[in-house]
Structure 1
Amino acid sequence: MSGVVEGLEGRVFTVLGAAGFVGQRVVSRLRAAGAEVFAPARGDPALWTRPLGHVVYAAGLTADYLVRPFDTVEAHVGLLARVLKEAQWESLVYLSSTRLYDSLGAVDAHEALPLRLDPGQPRHLYDLSKALGESLCHTQGQGRARVARLACVYEGAQDADGFLPSLLRQVMAAGAQPGAPRPAIEVPSSPSFERDYVHVSDVVEGLVHLALRGQHTIYNLASGENTSNASLFDGLGRRWACELRATLPAGPSEAPRIRIDRMREEFGWRPKGLHSVLDAMKETCP
């Protein structure tokens, strides 16, 4: 994105969840810029005794939240509540998710849109715990807490989890050899299914902006553009000379369209488009 944050030398940051996908990259970005970064392990008592500066709260569970419900609630709510109440912090950015909009259907999802969550749905355990964390930032953040609702964050085929990284690994492994027929990959999804994909480098820069300069409580960190499986499969197939076939039928899309006006207006947010990133990947990973 444009508007890279400058002047981080000597600034104090604390990254909770520093071992995670986003947290690791936040730590690397800050340290490379000369910031002083505290990346405590779970249970580190220093969290309660030293000034934390600007906190990036990246602790949480994603893929395994259903099998670890108590850990999910502790990470998304319990630890956050204690940090807000007991720790010494200058600002705090809480990583939430644009998944909170999913129950609203194909709407223009802006930050002030009321949510619709169902405690009776097991999948909504994740959403409800994130929403409660957001509520704590609203009510107990003393005007210094921000919420970053992240879309589908990716980097590349090396990512441990995720739909897109899994596809990238498959197409890179299956790409056709010269003169050979195009290999086919069956994907258990619908061609109509859509996601908003945002590159992790843009997310990291956005989080630093929010920590230092955010004026609102909630921000969508997304690309602002949904990519359908049909478009994704076509793009991957053309670049890596294979064919991806959806095994589920097409249908109307129910994906919300994530609005990023707030990030654009405050920080000149212009995240990289997915297909431009795929072009760059193809040049380096033929």
Structure 2
Amino acid sequence: MRCTVIGGAGFVGRRLADTLRRAGHEVWVPARGDRALFSRDLGHVFYCAGLTADYAARPYDTVAAHVTLLADVLRANRYEHLVYLSSTRLYDSSQLPEGDEAAALSLQPANPRALYDFSKGLGENLCLTVADGRTAVARLSCVFDWEAGSPGFLSEWLVRAASERAFRLDSDAGYVRDYIHLDDVVLALETISTRRAGGIFNVASGENVSNGQLAEVFRNAGWDINLSRSSPVQRAAVCSTSALRALGVTPRDVQSMVATYLETIRPWN
């Protein structure tokens, strides 16, 4: 399979490109600004370009990455299938009990945070309305890994655990998120592309886990974890994963994965 990974230097894109190469696929990771993106045969495209942590400080770059470049790729029309990486953060303002792919989103233009939501939503709209059924949207939940340099709150815990037995975290025990391991994300993206699936897929575990629950997993494994605040468990939409599971992809449980990993790195075993 000929593959193009746009944003292949990032957290998800780098692992995805490496996995595709090991599977024997032909993989091209274009450099930023490479105009060949609009003239060569791209094959199966994985659109991983985007900003997350720094979107508020770089609003124009955010729109360019989430919408403008995507529009140019779609307009050039030199791909077989395209998977656009979006986010389950789009459900955060919905106030609904379930994050369902078919549900209407609730967005507030005056909210500074909405820049991220609107830009991802517009990227989704382009894929689903102008691409003649050759695209899919993958809404990723909170992706984690334990390799050094992995971004994200849980990733930070796991990286620190390799060298520290006790640490204090400036966070709330009641804060919840849906976590999915990076390798499960890569499997989901590859499956969506290989199947040439269309529509929206929540790439998530389907379970919300609180910081307090995660801290307890660490404590049971022998680590001393302290959280700075302890509010009641937050209410948040639970991501539906029925569409992803229908493709044969079942993400692993985060608490079990963390417990297993901690068991492998315990220096006092």
Please say whether Structure 1 and Structure 2 have the same fold, judged by a TM-score greater than 0.5: yes
Within the candidate set 233, 253, 256, 2:234 is matched to: 253
RMSD (Å), alpha carbons? 1.5
1:74 and 2:55 matched: no
Aligned to 2:138: 148
Give the TM-score, by structure 1 length. Answer: 0.89
Aligned to 1:223: 205
Do residues 97 (structure 1) and 87 (structure 2) align?
yes
Q: Secondary structure at the match of 1:19?
A: coil
1:130 counterpart = 2:124? no
On the 8 A contact 1:220/1:258 being kept in 2, the answer is: yes
Structure 1 residue 172, shift from structure 2 partner: 3.7
Partner of 1:270: 250
CA distance in 1, matches of 2:33, 2:26: 20
For residues 157 and 30 of structure 1, do their structure 2 counterparts lie closer, same or farther at Cα, with a shift above 3 Å needed? closer
SS, match of residue 104 in structure 1: coil
TM-score, structure 2 length as denominator?
A: 0.94
Q: 1:230 Cα shift?
A: 1.2
- Report the CA distance between 1:26 and its aligned residue: 0.9
Q: Spell out the pairing of 1:29-108 with structure 2 (5 A cutoff).
A: 29-105=19-95, 107-108=97-98
For the 8 Å contact 1:47–1:87, the answer to whether it is kept is no
Distance in 1, Cα, partners of 2:4 & 2:194? 13
Runs of 4+ in 1 over 4 A off after TM superposition: none
SS at match of 2:177: strand
Q: CA deviation at 1:67?
A: 0.8
Q: In the aligned structure 2, how far is the partner of 1:36 from the partner of 1:214?
A: 17
Task: Tell me how far 1:254 sits from its aligned partner.
Answer: 2.6
The verdict on how the C-alpha distance between 1:194 and 1:214 changes in structure 2, with shifts beyond 3 A counting, is farther
Contact 1:157/1:166, CA 8 A, preserved across alignment:
no
Q: 1:279 and 1:252 mapped to 2: Cα distance? A: 21
- 1:253-285 residue CA offsets vs partner (Å, 9 max, x unmatched): 2321001001112x2221111122113312332
Q: Give 1:200's match in structure 2, choosing from 182, 187, 201.
A: 182
Work out which structure has the larger RCO, using CA pairs closer than 8 Å and 6 or more positions apart in sequence.
Answer: 1
| AA in 2 matched with 1:39 | V
Instruction: Structure 2: state its 5+ residue gaps.
Output: none
Q: CA deviation at 1:246?
A: 2.6
Whether 2:260 is the aligned partner of 1:280: answer yes
Distance 1:254 1:17, change over 3 A: same
Q: Which runs of 5+ in 1 are unaligned?
A: 1-10, 176-182
CA separation in 1, counterparts of 2:262 and 2:230?
Answer: 29
